[in-house]
């Protein structure tokens, strides 16, 4: 093809057709430029197609991860709600003179509160891989990119409040351990975890309920747990749902 163009130019020169030569040369240059532009466009299309494939793979992986995290958060919120409910019920029995109570019921409340602490531990593999590998720019949705960039700092804020809740819980736990007998409480509720036998120590397990500081710590724990729910868990849940909705709208 190049040889053909060259021969045509020579023919114009031999025949003295300079103007025709120039027109042809310009036309040839235009054709070459058009060819280069077409090649570049095809290359861009190929790169875009590759990016689209990568984006779809990332979106599908993110969808699985955030759906899983939503379920995990719901479980943690249920535990936190249970702690709040049990603590409020336990607070009905605190005071200088104890009202009539059922030992097994109080033991169930105590073990329920102190057995497991609320901790949201999400899966972060896909988010971290996207950020660390520099693939965040592949995602076209700017709001999704921003949400993923802020994800770690969001989790750190939640963790700080969780730490505060656990700190309040542990202070109440200390009173319980100093003046109560955890073994006896396990025996009262027939907890299958240890299958505890009856303790031989004297029965003074509920004396801590008459301690004013225990009552204060208990209600600080309730307030901190409720704040964890209202100011951290619920907004976090909304954010996860927004991320999921954004991802779902972009998956082909």
What is the model's pLDDT at position 77?
A: 97
Question: Which pLDDT score, from 0 to 100, does residue 248 have?
Answer: 96
First to last CA, the chain: 43
Mean pLDDT per block of 10 residues along the chain (252 residues) reads 51 53 60 69 68 89 97 97 94 81 79 85 94 90 94 96 92 73 62 62 70 88 96 98 96 85
Separation between Cα atoms, residue 91 and residue 97, nearest integer Å: 13
Cβ neighbourhood burial of 244 (10 Å; 0-12, 13-18, 19+): middle
Tokens describing residue 105: 């019921």
Rg of the chain's alpha carbons, rounded to an integer?
35
The Cα–Cα gap between 182 and 107 comes to 9
| 37-38-42-44 Cα dihedral, nearest 10 degrees | 20
Q: How far apart are CA 32 and CA 29, in angstroms?
A: 5
What are the backbone angles phi and psi of residue 133, rounded to the nearest 5°? -90, -5
The pTM of this model reads 0.76
Query: What tokens appear for 154 in the block?
Result: 């969001």
Q: Kindly state the greatest CA–CA separation across the chain.
A: 124
Q: Quote the pLDDT of residue 2.
A: 47
CA distances from 72 to 68, 80, 109 (A): 6, 12, 23
Q: Are 241 and 70 in contact (CB under 8 A)?
A: yes
Are 115 and 83 a contacting pair, CB within 8 Å? no
> Residue 84: what pLDDT?
95
> What pLDDT, on a 0 to 100 scale, did the predictor assign at position 199?
64
Q: Give residue 147's pLDDT.
A: 95
Tokens of 234: 């619920």
Q: CA-CA distance, 24 to 32, in Å (whole number)?
A: 12
Query: How far is residue 248's CA from residue 252's CA, in Å, rounded to a whole number?
Result: 9
- CB contact at 8 A, 99 and 93: yes
Count CA atoms closer than 13 A to 74's CA, side-chain side.
8
> Residue 117: its pLDDT value, please?
86
Judge whether 215 and 91 are in contact, CB under 8 Å. yes
Q: Report pLDDT for 34.
A: 74
């Amino acid at each position: 093809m190049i040889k053909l163009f060259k021969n045509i130019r020579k023919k114009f020169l031999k025949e003295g057709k300079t103007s025709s030569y120039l027109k042809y040369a310009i036309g040839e240059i235009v054709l070459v430029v058009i060819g280069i532009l077409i090649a570049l466009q095809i290359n861009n299309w190929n790169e875009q197609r590759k990016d689209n494939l990568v984006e779809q793979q990332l979106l599908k992986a993110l969808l699985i991860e955030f759906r899983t995290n939503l379920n995990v958060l719901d479980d943690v919120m249920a535990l936190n709600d249970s702690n709040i409910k049990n603590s409020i019920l336990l607070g009905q029995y605190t005071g200088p003179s104890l009202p009539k109570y059922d030992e097994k019921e109080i033991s169930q409340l105590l073990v329920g509160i102190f057995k497991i602490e609320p901790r949201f531990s999400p899966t972060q593999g896909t988010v971290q891989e996207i950020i660390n590998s520099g693939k965040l720019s592949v995602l076209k949705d700017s709001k999704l990119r921003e949400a993923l960039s802020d994800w770690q700092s969001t989790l750190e804020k939640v963790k700080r409040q969780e730490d505060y809740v656990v700190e309040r819980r542990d202070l109440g736990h200390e009173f319980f351990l100093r003046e109560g007998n955890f073994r006896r409480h396990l025996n009262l509720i027939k907890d299958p975890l240890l299958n505890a036998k009856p303790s031989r120590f004297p029965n003074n397990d509920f004396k801590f309920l008459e301690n004013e500081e225990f009552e204060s710590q208990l209600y600080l724990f309730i307030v901190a747990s409720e704040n964890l729910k209202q100011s951290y868990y619920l907004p976090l849940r909304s954010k996860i749902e927004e991320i999921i909705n954004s991802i779902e709208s972009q998956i082909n």
